[in-house]
Amino acid sequence: MTTSRASIGNTRNPETHSAVLDAAEALLTEKGYAGVSMEAVARRAGAGKPTLYRWWPSKAALLMEVYERRKAEALAELPAGASAREDMAAMLESIMCFWRDTPAGQAFRSIVAEAQADPAALRMLRDEMLARGRASAAAMLRRAAEAGEIGPNPDTELMLDALFGMAWYRLLTHRLRRAPDEVPRLVAAIFLGAQPGGPFCLPG
Amino acid sequence: MTTSRASIGNTRNPETHSAVLDAAEALLTEKGYAGVSMEAVARRAGAGKPTLYRWWPSKAALLMEVYERRKAEALAELPAGASAREDMAAMLESIMCFWRDTPAGQAFRSIVAEAQADPAALRMLRDEMLARGRASAAAMLRRAAEAGEIGPNPDTELMLDALFGMAWYRLLTHRLRRAPDEVPRLVAAIFLGAQPGGPFCLPG
DNA sequence: GACGTAACGGAACGGACCGTATAGACAAAC
DNA sequence: GTTTGTCTATACGGTCCGTTCCGTTACGTC
């Protein structure tokens, strides 16, 4: 376990790097958000606190890397389905399964919590982490518009707020378990609202 | 300011009570969630820490009372409109304005954050604070069904998740400012999905 | 082969906050 | 007049914060 893992010289030690992320993830799953402190992570990882602060300026930054590491290996790529609507449903469903079935859900809950106390963390969450997902989801909606699945000028912002909002709300209230077909039905309803003349259609 | 406010005898001192709530609210608006500690609230209120812990077992409980006090005086009663759809839009809009224009928004953000670290706080948030609002919103949907505005057996849970979820998502990412008519259009879309044969219609 | 550089773990720091315990002043309730 | 319960004040041991200094290690360079 606690193999002596000293400096390997002039370079960042990748073992230390992953040991810290592993320790943070383990504490997160075992004790939840309250159990994760920089001090506890350092203890558990067999690392020094200065090492943590050298690479992660805040707890939020550490949690985000824990999350992103999981995400990279889990949500590699979703195959394109028959329609943008199905793609959207598959994406939302896979995010919610990812949150429910891996430590990433607890990590993301913690990141959102941290963002309520730390303005810099909020900006990073909103303008970097979320922006990526929203951009790819918005691209799906534009493809849907081009394919005629929905009207030509959908209010993508509002539609995404409803879709991601539902997922956040479920995550943060610990209600991620879904009835079958819930997500496809929600997506269908949002797409229905974006049919020509519908409430999600913008003029112009 | 710091009038000597000792015990008034065998009874709870209402001045102390409100002084603590005032102090918590002031810290919340001035310094945000991170600035609110039981210690700081006690200092600011000119109260003793044991007094705080006597009446509020946790920071979450204190924050919830700060929130509820504001809510009681602000969202007293919404007049019934011409349709359940308009009532729902008015309710959602008034909640978001309440969050945006009063310290309650910061309080609610803090409560959600606290709930991610404290399981008891999560239960109280979900099963008491939220349950009330969801119950009255579900009643609106039932009235809509009876009035024929939507189909007879709407999936109220999913509809409410989409509506409240959007509001939460905006609050927690500091994006509460809305384009005009956004909320009515979202509500219209959700109601549209609940028309007979729509994705929000349940069998039976 | 020697040296500068940078990462590493360990120990310690002052400070803030946690939740609790104790003590004494106070006035209502009985 | 005694009991009861609330209030302030202070102090406690503990945890965590973010930082500093230290001695060690070995890479990259000369």
pLDDT value for A2:
40
Backbone angles phi, psi at A86, to 5 degrees: -65, -35
Which secondary-structure segment (H or E) carries A73?
Answer: helix A59-74
Section B165-169 average pLDDT: 98
> Is residue B96 over pLDDT 90?
yes
What is the reported pLDDT for A3?
52
Which class does domain A76-193 fall in?
A: mainly alpha
- pLDDT for A178 equals 86
Torsion angle of C-alpha atoms B70, B67, B63, B170, degrees rounded to 10: -130
The CATH number for B1-56, chosen from 1.10.3470.10, 1.10.10.60, 3.20.20.105, 3.40.50.2020, is 1.10.10.60
Report chain C positions within 7 A of protein CB atoms.
4-12, 16-29
Mean pLDDT of chain B: 95
**CB contact (8 A) between residue B117 and residue A164:** no
* Average pLDDT of the residues in B143-147: 97
Q: In this prediction, what percent of chain B has a pLDDT beyond 90?
A: 88
Q: Mutating which of B36, B129, B169, B190 best tests the A interface, going by the most A Cβ atoms within 10 A?
A: B169
Per-residue pLDDT of chain A (204 residues; tens, 9 = 90+): 445 688 998 899 999 999 999 999 999 999 999 999 999 999 999 999 999 999 999 999 999 999 999 998 887 677 788 999 999 999 999 999 999 999 999 999 999 999 999 999 999 999 999 999 999 999 999 999 999 999 999 999 999 999 999 999 999 999 999 888 999 999 999 999 999 999 999 997
From A86's Cα to the closest Cα of chain B, the distance in A is 14
* pLDDT of B26 above 60: yes
Give me the CA A38–C1' D18 separation in Å, rounded. 10
Domain ranges of chain A: 1-56, 76-193
Task: Please name the residue of chain A whose CA is at the shortest distance from the CA of residue B188.
Answer: A199
pLDDT at B204: 78
Is the pLDDT assigned to residue B1 strictly greater than 60? Answer: no
Q: How far apart are CA B20 and CA B18, in angstroms?
A: 5
Task: State how far the Cα of B159 lies from the Cα of B192, in Å rounded to an integer.
Answer: 11
Task: State the pLDDT at residue B6.
Answer: 79
First-to-last C-alpha distance (Å) of chain A: 63
pLDDT of res. B10? 85
Shortest distance, CA B77 to any CA of chain A (angstroms): 25
> Using CA atoms, how far apart are residues A22 and A28, in angstroms rounded to an integer?
10
Nucleotide nearest to B50 (CA to C1'): C20
Give the model confidence (pLDDT) of B115-136 as tens digits. 999 999 999 999 999 999 999 9
Span of B69-73, B124-128, B181-185 with lowest mean pLDDT = B69-73
Closest CA to A7 of A38, A48, A37: A48
- Block residue for tokens 């509020």: B56
Q: What is the spatial distance, in angstroms and rounded to an integer, between the CA atom of A37 and the C1' atom of C14?
A: 19
DSSP assigned state of B154? B
**How many contacts, defined by CB atoms under 8 Å, are there between A and B?**
140
- CA separation for the pair A41, A45 (Å, rounded): 6
pLDDT, residue B4, reads: 67
Q: Which of B86, B170, B85, B92 is nearest to B133 (CA)?
A: B92
User: Does A168 contact B165 at a Cβ distance shorter than 8 Å?
Assistant: yes
pLDDT in tens, B135-144: 999 999 999 9
* Residue of B12, B15, B36, B6 lying closest to B24 (CA atoms): B36
- Among the partner residues B158, B173, B182, nearest to A158 by beta-carbon distance: B182
Nearest residue in chain B measured CA to CA from A159: B186
Between CA B150 and CA A44 the distance in angstroms is: 55
**CATH T-level fold of B79-193:** Tetracycline Repressor; domain 2 (1.10.357)
- pLDDT value, residue B98: 96
Query: Taken in order A71, A169, B69, B64, is the CA torsion positive or negative?
Result: negative
- pLDDT the model gives residue B2: 41
Decide which of A45 and B4 is more confident. Answer: A45
